[in-house]
Amino acid sequence: MKQMRKIVLTLVLLLATAIGVQAQKVALKTNALHWAVMGSPNAALEFAMGPKVTLDLYGGGNLWKFEKPLEVRHWLVQPELRYWFCEVFNGTFIGLHGHYGQYNIGGINLPVGRLKNLKDHRYEGYFYGAGLSLGHQWILSKHLNLEASLGGGWARTPYKKYECPVCSPLLDESTYDYFGLTRATLSLTYFFN
């Protein structure tokens, strides 16, 4: 897990320095939905690659432990290539995103579908996949935009299932293919000038 974080951070830094920084061409943002749902720090850098194309490099996660029995450690990276119908950072866009991450989650009471097992079980694994998104940005000021987007796609997750949220013998080891919501954002975007 530590080695993957170093690789991802190195790639993000290389991409950030390889792309020329110009006014209204680079944005820094955070996703309020990721903060609200998972309590997870997150950030994204978005680079203008042309008059109608941007590259969004998003990452976030919780890497610390909570009080037992709650376990919600996870991290993810989700790059997205976007095509803007008007101009970059203004109006409606469609995106193609990939995602990769790891998780160690349990002790959460979510009575919905497959997630209802999180209260009495802990799941540990990783995921990867891709999807499409549709979004919109509204200009608030010279330096600030508001962004909202939704995306759907596929994620494959090899996982291990344990009896209790914190510690117990392994119950199951399997792979699950998920089809559904893979991206949701409500982000405040800051532009460097």
Residues of the chain scoring pLDDT < 70: 1-24, 66-70, 111-115, 165-166
CB 187 within 8 A of CB 45: no
- Residues 74-100: tens digit of each pLDDT: 899 999 999 999 999 999 999 999 999
Query: Where in the chain are the domains?
Result: 2-191
pTM, to two decimals:
0.82
Query: CATH second-level architecture of 2-191?
Result: Beta Barrel (2.40)
